[in-house]
Amino acid sequence: MSADPALSKPQDPATVNALVARLESGIGKKPKEHGFSCKKSTFTIEDTVHNVDSWKFQEQDFKKHTLPTYARGLFTWRDKVSGNYRIAIRGYDKFFNINEVKCTKWEWIADNTKAPYEVTVKENGCIIFISGLPDGTLLVCSKHSTGAREETEASHAIVGERWVDKQLAQIGKTRRDLAETLYNANVTAVAELCDDSFEEHILAYEGDQAGLYLHGINYNLGDFATYSMPEVHKFAEEWAFRKIDYVVKDDVQQLRKFLEEAAETGSWDGKDVEGFVIRCKARTDASDPNWEDWFFKYKFEEPYLLYRQWRECTKALIAGKEPRYRNHKEITREYLKFASAYFIQNKGAADQYKMNHGIIKLRNAYLAHSGLKGADIVRMDLEEKGTGQDSNLKLVLVPVATIGCGKTTVAHALTKLFGWSHIQNDNLTARKGKPQAFAAACTKALVVCPAVIADRNNHQKRERKQLIDDMSPGVNQAHFVALNYVHHSSTDKDLQDKIREITRKRVLSRGDNHQTIHAATKNNSEIIGIMEGFLNRFQSVDIDEFPDRSFDNVIDLDPLKESRENLETVVKALHHAYPKLVPEIPSAAALDDAIKASFDEYKPAIKHTIKGSATPAPKRAQTQPQQQTSKKVDVDYFSVSLPPSIIVSAVEKAIATAPEEKRAYYYELKSAHRVQQKFHVTLLHNANKSQNKEMWERYIKLYSDAKAVGEPMGTGTIKLESVVWDGRVMAITASLVGDKWECANNIPHVTVGTSVGVKPKESNDMLEGKWRNGDIGVEQIDLSAEGIEVTGKVEGVKNGKF
């Protein structure tokens, strides 16, 4: 019952010593300077003299080609007698999701891998490594740790150990037996700890489903080498591990077909699964004679992602925070309502949930209540994606670039082709609060347009996060798509230099045809200084981590290529992902024309200066900020402006669920296009200033002070109370949250729409004169239980203009 000695591959001391020396060299180093950085943690193990060191790399370094090993999970120890280092535990080489990196694109897979393709179910727990030390000690580790950890009651490794003991008891073996077997074979057993009584993940493992699922046996070598699945199964049977399911596919076509079919339901063999890990052999390129063990994963999106979203939102709910979510909004709202009621009815459930217990129970209770299954949700998701335009899907195209990459050229061309909205950061004149203003302008654009190009460099994660965070609450079903002008490449070390060269050339010959970069009137070194700043700060898109994980799609573009080619890449990718929005790819001639028109039209509407590192004090003549303080302040009213999508969806939802007879007036307004496009709560109108002198003066002062420094007055939050209407006007009554702002009206409200010939201000008369008195003919739907709070900018408005 030992591992087959024929499988054994011993460690070569010189190779391992060299590996550890390289690992040591990377401790605390900067990846940029050293190629990689790593962290060492040393653990003492009970009952043995051997200490083990765990090595941890930075996740993003796995995508580079500079690591000493790609093992994710690696422990070494030193033989005190010989002084040689030895590998104690060796995880799999880091593997990537399909399409995540170049070598997980189907084309690469077809060219550089070979069958058999062992497709294993990706179990959803946490990874446990098991191996033996020379003195017969059994070593059980999680990815980067072993033994008990103070902060958690039972660490993963300890729980794993308990399961191993249980298995060994079943077969009448000892820890020493297993340790010796593993040590002699020079391998690490790799298993998934799936045990809901310890920690729940997304998929259920209860009762007899729980345990250690053995999914691999790796040689303890620097280079990745691992047992085949039949060998893994054999070992699992011998040592009472749970086995993982797998199928074998004989070629790439069959493999792809199998995976894509399974993705349609998010399940396999009648069970919800997270995805698959595919094991095969690969070579680095066609000229490489060595085939090595190589893995990639194929993760399903739904319903797994939805379940994870629910788990995170539920935790926010329990913590009293606002749950943030971007997809499946409708069903998630319903789920959260159910969850709130559930926690009220089930005392103690919330505390349990916080400790990761009852996650699946609550989810299943909701699914049973709603009559939905995981497969229904996958179908809904596909429909939602497929029907783009019809289902109110809104696209936010987010360039990630530096100066001169051609963002504006491509954006102009897209607006030409599809009539989409194009918001240029460089056209916004308010200096401070600019990021917020930019996001607000993009949000606003989406009210009337299915897509907006958020034209600024977005070259730092901070900017991407701000844009996504600021836009998400205001736009129902927003899909963020990165137009990723790739700046780092593992195959082209000189890419940055080439980008520098080409963008400088373009920008310097652009002359003054730009809002902020005036190449004809500034000296070149100044411009170059500004451009260098962007290049140095550039942070690549990393879809594994937030904020870039929030991108629904990333379209890779090449800054060295002509904008015409990048335009075509964008259009094709969008056509593929959003066929309803881009039903067909425009002809080559149409693309040519769009780019040509873009070049011809290139003349920005606004000019202002920015400060660069090498910029002297801006010349006054060039600076034309619109926010000059005027002595005489001319404001018609002060108001809180509100995101239209939230107001419209609140009303639509209330109306849709109201009895038949209550729906007519709203639908009448809607079909006559009499629902407002913009919404606000008036705080104080010029007409009422004499009765509210102190308030008026206070607001005027705030307004002037804010305007002088180019900032907005601030933000205000209101809560929606009731939708109220008569046959002439519809409004939502609101209450102000907090005491920062006052409202001169007795009943603060948002006008939703009016019949032809009726002025919006009549809503106040309707509320004050009729609704308050309970007049007949005034209808209402209460919204207060929904708890809808809306935040917007407080502004001074003149004739509908800020």
In the bound state with ligand GTP, the residue whose beta carbon lies nearer, of 462 and 761, is: 462
Among 602, 606, 701, 784, which residue interacts with ligand GTP (rule: CB under 6 A)? Answer: 602
Residue type, 62: F
Pairing of strands 679-685, 637-642: antiparallel
Q: Which stretch binds ligand GTP (CB under 6 A): 49-57, 298-306, 399-407, 778-786?
A: 399-407
Where helices occur in 578-627 by DSSP H, the ranges are 588-601
In the bound state with Mg ion, the residue whose beta carbon lies nearer, of 412 and 685, is: 412
Verify binding: residue 409, ligand GTP, rule CB under 6 A: yes
Site residue total, ligand GTP (CB under 6 A): 20
Verify binding: residue 311, ligand GTP, rule CB under 6 A: no
Give the bridge partners for 53, in sequence order.
42, 76
Q: Which stretch binds ligand GTP (CB under 6 A): 219-227, 468-476, 510-518, 758-766?
A: 510-518
Verify binding: residue 457, Mg ion, rule CB under 5 A: no
Angstrom distances, CA of residue 786 to CA of 53, 230, 475, 675: 54, 56, 19, 22
Length of the chain, please? 802
Q: Which stretch binds ligand GTP (CB under 6 A): 259-267, 328-336, 376-384, 509-517?
A: 509-517
In the bound state with ligand GTP, the residue whose beta carbon lies nearer, of 91 and 404, is: 404
Among 281, 333, 510, 653, which residue interacts with ligand GTP (rule: CB under 6 A)? Answer: 510
Site for Mg ion in 401-420 (CB under 5 A): 408
Residue 172 is classified by DSSP as: T
Residue type, 644: P
Alpha-carbon distance of 457 to 537, in angstroms, equals 11
Give the residue nearest to Mg ion (CB): 408
Least distance (Å) between residue 502 CB and ligand GTP? 9
Site for ligand GTP in 411-450 (CB under 6 A): 426
Tokens in use for 502?
A: 């080409």
In the bound state with Mg ion, the residue whose beta carbon lies nearer, of 605 and 656, is: 605
Pairing of strands 715-725, 779-782: antiparallel
What one-character-per-residue DSSP string does 506-569 give?
HHHHHTT-SSS--TTTS-HHHHHHHHHHHHHH-----TTSTTGGG-SEEEEE-TTS-HHHHHHH
Among 275, 406, 644, 792, which residue interacts with ligand GTP (rule: CB under 6 A)? Answer: 406
Alpha-carbon distance of 567 to 672, in angstroms, equals 38
In the bound state with ligand GTP, the residue whose beta carbon lies nearer, of 557 and 635, is: 557
In three-state secondary structure terms, 724 is strand
Alpha-carbon distance of 551 to 454, in angstroms, equals 14
Q: Which stretch binds ligand GTP (CB under 6 A): 156-164, 334-342, 406-414, 763-771?
A: 406-414
Q: Is residue 719 among the annotated active site residues?
A: no
Verify binding: residue 607, ligand GTP, rule CB under 6 A: no
291 binds, among ligand GTP, Mg ion, none (CB under 5 to 8 A by kind): none
Quick count: other Cβ atoms within 10 Å of Cβ 389? Answer: 16
Angstrom distances, CA of residue 167 to CA of 121, 213, 237, 239, 784: 22, 12, 11, 7, 56
Verify binding: residue 69, Mg ion, rule CB under 5 A: no
Q: Which stretch binds Mg ion (CB under 5 A): 118-126, 400-408, 530-538, 586-594?
A: 400-408
Least distance (Å) between residue 408 CB and ligand GTP? 3
Q: Which of 29, 63, 64, 122 is catalytic?
A: 122
**113-121 β-sheet, strand order:** 246-249, 113-121, 275-282, 292-299
563 binds, among Mg ion, ligand GTP, none (CB under 5 to 8 A by kind): ligand GTP
- Catalytic positions, please? 122
Q: Under the rule (CB under 5 A), what is the footprint of Mg ion? A: 408
Residues that bind ligand GTP (CB under 6 A): 401, 403-409, 426, 457, 506-507, 510, 514, 517, 562-564, 599, 602
